[in-house]
A and B are shown apart, each in its own frame.
Chain A
């Protein structure tokens, strides 16, 4: 937008932006409950997501107890097991990860990082949270209705999802579909905010290519979500029609106990297409914000600019685009034209290219960096390792011939937990350790943090590595108990016990983490301003934690990209984005060159 002849300037007045009408909270209620401040909304999102995520964690313990010690726990029936996996999977993917990355980090970081006072539509933003909360409550309600929650698997495949014999057929599935529809409506409200704020509300000097990669990741992920969630919405509404009104979108002619059901003429495959048209981009909806955040954590804590910034941005955009043309790799075993299989296998492999570029660039960022093994850095490195791991098994599964025998085995469970379970969760932890001081003014406790990191990191491998092996020997997924089979050796049972013990220990480490979050809020060491000495704008606010409206009288003016670390010639090893060139302190012996020049 700014095609002006470049000329040397030292001081730029803040651009004449008309004063946004900030809404001013008057009471406690409007300040912290019906709040329109993106930072408060972010925390509301985060607390709700983490709370429901803990429920999903407990569900996973129960699943593991059943798998590790079959015939021991009488309260876990085969039906209950199916309900556990369904609720666990759905909560983790949608209500925890999506909500936390976009609603939580998105709300907190976007306005601060682009130098805005708030989101552009604060009222809609507030509604977004309350609709999300309603979606969560509807979901939780499904635990308590007669028949319990649905046990259709997180994929909710019809026809079984709404037929007798699937747990939760009476009410559970209805509430699940309603909750998903609500979630999507709520998300769309938030998503409009994130996209328009990034595009239109940046401060003076903040070009798109000066934005931190965190913003890029969240921005592109939001676009993906806005375009992918409608598919899930359509699928959920259509299934709701089938269940409640007796239409037959997805329901073929079915004979049950010799009696023909009222359905006929529908196509179950249609649902699978709709579901995975959403489902695959969903993987990247939780991965892209993770990619962005990790890039920033690495750069800050290695005191080095991110390697290949432009390539990183392009890779995010390309991955986002490609993620819409690979969905049918989840349907190899549903039967398809072999040419389609070939197409989707190829597109799946192609998406590995930009992803690999990102991994190389992360590693090259670390190369000869001044690495500080702080907690955020540890989590970021753990993320790279884990993501590569899960990515490689993904390449295997992307090939039709390999996928067919491995489909629906524990191998798949291990793969997707590595790539979209553990990896994004590690980023979230890293991000929380990194930005907690900004949000609360206090540091998280180090000792508890290290305990949390090592147990989670090593524990995750103890849980999921053996699961690959179980998958190879043919242990199926979504089975209550494998019983005695010819092809599964008895040692598989021992391995399952081991995994369960590991899972329980990892789970307990999360309890320590939650304790740390609460404890540090009151007892944590007081943080200095900008404790990590970071360049991006969120750390440069007049107050920490940032006050309502984020900035003082004037918005910050941006003079550089977000990665000016260890600039040769500068006295400090970081130059905040809003530091004017003539304010930069110059190191001894470099006076002549000046730092703008040195920064190139």
Chain B
């Protein structure tokens, strides 16, 4: 029964009570950890959506000076894609019970993620040293803020990844590691998606958000 269906039930009626007595408890066929992760991702989605809204609103409110372009971001994007792919590899291996593959996938995933973070810091440096750098330019402020928040989320993921990796290292079987690998992989793909949206809309230098706003008639 869907949630909406359940909300229509009349719990005080005998016929309904007979049905309800067989209810086994959960609402979704999902482990609590997976549901918990999804709820968390919903919260993070709100966070980044609000940032994009704030960005777009600010573009409309006063004079807007776009950021100078940082081409290093393209490379960083590739790194993050690699990281996500490695995690997917780990997940495949876990499903096929190949502990070596899990091990390699997790390590490579972590490695590329750290490389991505390093790349982001280098991007900050590059931006910092550009002529025309002016911290009071909101576009630059947004760039620092949004990349920092995204990076912090990835850093948090690395903690979880570290714990999963230690489990493998300590020689646990595939089964108990599998849930951790699944959770990490979901999180990684999600953060990749967020980054692609952020990069595509805000930081690729194509004024995509501006175009989107004009399509929606807000500009």
Q: Which residue of B lies closest to A564 (CB)?
A: B12
**Residues of A204-223 whose CB lies within 8 A of B:** 204-210
Contact B26–A1 (Cβ < 8 Å) = yes
Q: Does B14 belong to the interface (CB within 8 Å)?
A: yes
Contact B54–A274 (Cβ < 8 Å) = yes
Contact A599–B46 (Cβ < 8 Å) = no
Contact A265–B63 (Cβ < 8 Å) = yes
**Residues of B24-46 whose CB lies within 8 A of A:** 24-30, 32-33, 35-36, 39-40, 42-43, 46
How far does the Cβ of B14 sit from chain A's closest Cβ, in whole Å? 5
Contact B18–A206 (Cβ < 8 Å) = no
Q: Does B125 belong to the interface (CB within 8 Å)?
A: no
Q: Which of A243-251, A395-403, A484-492, A503-511 contacts B (4 or more CB under 8 A)?
A: A243-251
Contact B36–A121 (Cβ < 8 Å) = yes
Chain A residues within an 8 Å CB radius of B18? 6-9
Chain B residues within an 8 Å CB radius of A557? 21
CA distance A207 to B141 in the complex (A): 48
Contact with B7, one of A120, A234, A313 (Cβ below 8 angstroms): A313
Contact A241–B136 (Cβ < 8 Å) = no
Chain B residues within an 8 Å CB radius of A8? 18
Contact with A204, one of B25, B39, B43, B138 (Cβ below 8 angstroms): B25
Contact A208–B27 (Cβ < 8 Å) = yes
**Residues of A177-234 whose CB lies within 8 A of B:** 188, 191-193, 195-196, 199-210, 226-227, 230-231, 233-234
Contact with A265, one of B23, B28, B62 (Cβ below 8 angstroms): B62
Q: Which residue of B lies closest to A15 (CB)?
A: B24
Q: Does A4 belong to the interface (CB within 8 Å)?
A: yes
Contact B50–A277 (Cβ < 8 Å) = yes
Contact B36–A192 (Cβ < 8 Å) = yes
How far does the Cβ of A119 sit from chain B's closest Cβ, in whole Å? 10
Q: Does A445 belong to the interface (CB within 8 Å)?
A: no
Contact B136–A209 (Cβ < 8 Å) = no
Contact B40–A206 (Cβ < 8 Å) = no
How far does the Cβ of B209 sit from chain A's closest Cβ, in whole Å? 15
Q: Does A2 belong to the interface (CB within 8 Å)?
A: yes
Contact with A247, one of B24, B29, B61, B135 (Cβ below 8 angstroms): B135
Interface string of A247-267 (1 = CB under 8 A from B): 111011000000000111111
CA distance A205 to B18 in the complex (A): 10
CA distance A563 to B10 in the complex (A): 12
Contact A249–B25 (Cβ < 8 Å) = no
Chain B residues within an 8 Å CB radius of A203? 25
Contact A596–B17 (Cβ < 8 Å) = yes
CA distance A191 to B207 in the complex (A): 37
Contact A208–B12 (Cβ < 8 Å) = no
Chain A residues within an 8 Å CB radius of B54? 234, 238, 249, 270, 273-274
Q: Does A166 belong to the interface (CB within 8 Å)?
A: no
Q: Which residue of A lies closest to B19 (CB)?
A: A6
Q: Does B216 belong to the interface (CB within 8 Å)?
A: no
Chain B residues within an 8 Å CB radius of A195? 39
Q: Which residue of B lies closest to A233 (CB)?
A: B47
Contact B22–A265 (Cβ < 8 Å) = no
Contact B14–A207 (Cβ < 8 Å) = no
**Residues of A1-49 whose CB lies within 8 A of B:** 1-4, 6-9, 12, 15, 17
Chain B residues within an 8 Å CB radius of A191? 43
Q: Does B66 belong to the interface (CB within 8 Å)?
A: no
- Chain A interface size band reads 35 or more
Q: Does A560 belong to the interface (CB within 8 Å)?
A: yes
Contact with B141, one of A1, A12, A120, A248 (Cβ below 8 angstroms): A248
Contact B1–A267 (Cβ < 8 Å) = no
How far does the Cβ of B155 sit from chain A's closest Cβ, in whole Å? 14
Contact B141–A2 (Cβ < 8 Å) = no
Interface string of B52-94 (1 = CB under 8 A from A): 0010011001110100000000000000000000000000000
Chain B residues within an 8 Å CB radius of A583? none
Contact B46–A227 (Cβ < 8 Å) = yes
Contact B26–A199 (Cβ < 8 Å) = yes
Contact B7–A1 (Cβ < 8 Å) = no
Q: Does B3 belong to the interface (CB within 8 Å)?
A: yes
Interface of A (DSSP majority class): loop
Q: Does A237 belong to the interface (CB within 8 Å)?
A: yes
How far does the Cβ of A420 sit from chain B's closest Cβ, in whole Å? 23
CA distance A81 to B54 in the complex (A): 33
CA distance A203 to B9 in the complex (A): 18
How far does the Cβ of B193 sit from chain A's closest Cβ, in whole Å? 17
Contact with B32, one of A3, A196, A208 (Cβ below 8 angstroms): A196
CA distance A390 to B9 in the complex (A): 33
Chain B residues within an 8 Å CB radius of A204? 23-25
Contact B23–A206 (Cβ < 8 Å) = yes
Chain B residues within an 8 Å CB radius of A2? 1, 19-20, 22-24
Contact with B6, one of A207, A270, A558 (Cβ below 8 angstroms): A207
How far does the Cβ of B42 sit from chain A's closest Cβ, in whole Å? 7
Contact A192:B40 (CB < 8 A) given known A201-B25, A267-B58, A600-B14: yes
Q: Does B144 belong to the interface (CB within 8 Å)?
A: yes
Q: Does B208 belong to the interface (CB within 8 Å)?
A: no
CA distance A252 to B61 in the complex (A): 11
Contact B145–A237 (Cβ < 8 Å) = yes
Contact with A200, one of B26, B65, B137, B138 (Cβ below 8 angstroms): B26
CA distance A305 to B1 in the complex (A): 26
Contact A15–B25 (Cβ < 8 Å) = yes
Q: Does B13 belong to the interface (CB within 8 Å)?
A: yes
Q: Does B131 belong to the interface (CB within 8 Å)?
A: no
How far does the Cβ of A12 sit from chain B's closest Cβ, in whole Å? 6
Contact B39–A206 (Cβ < 8 Å) = no
Contact A234–B51 (Cβ < 8 Å) = yes
How far does the Cβ of A210 sit from chain B's closest Cβ, in whole Å? 5
Chain A residues within an 8 Å CB radius of B137? 248, 265
Contact A4:B19 (CB < 8 A) given known A226-B42, A313-B7: yes
Contact B46–A230 (Cβ < 8 Å) = yes
Contact A309:B24 (CB < 8 A) given known A247-B135, A266-B138, A270-B58: no
Interface string of A95-125 (1 = CB under 8 A from B): 0000000000000000000000000110000
How far does the Cβ of B48 sit from chain A's closest Cβ, in whole Å? 9
Q: Does A269 belong to the interface (CB within 8 Å)?
A: yes
Q: Does A559 belong to the interface (CB within 8 Å)?
A: yes
Chain B residues within an 8 Å CB radius of A596? 14, 17
Chain B residues within an 8 Å CB radius of A245? 135, 141, 144
Contact A265–B24 (Cβ < 8 Å) = no
Chain A residues within an 8 Å CB radius of B21? 9, 12, 205, 557-559
How far does the Cβ of A197 sit from chain B's closest Cβ, in whole Å? 8
Q: Does B215 belong to the interface (CB within 8 Å)?
A: no
Contact A196–B50 (Cβ < 8 Å) = no
CA distance A206 to B59 in the complex (A): 50
- Could you list 12 examples of A-B contacts with CB < 8 Å? A188-B40, A188-B43, A200-B25, A200-B35, A201-B26, A204-B24, A230-B47, A247-B138, A247-B141, A248-B141, A310-B8, A600-B12
If A6-B15, A17-B25, A249-B141 are given as contacts, then 16 extra A-B residue pairs at C-beta distance below 8 Å, sorted by A number, are A1-B24, A6-B18, A120-B36, A195-B39, A204-B24, A208-B3, A208-B7, A230-B47, A237-B149, A238-B141, A238-B145, A249-B142, A310-B10, A557-B21, A596-B17, A599-B17
Question: Across chains A and B, which 8 residue pairs bring their CB atoms closest together, nearest first?
Answer: A247-B141, A6-B18, A561-B11, A248-B136, A120-B32, A230-B47, A2-B22, A199-B27
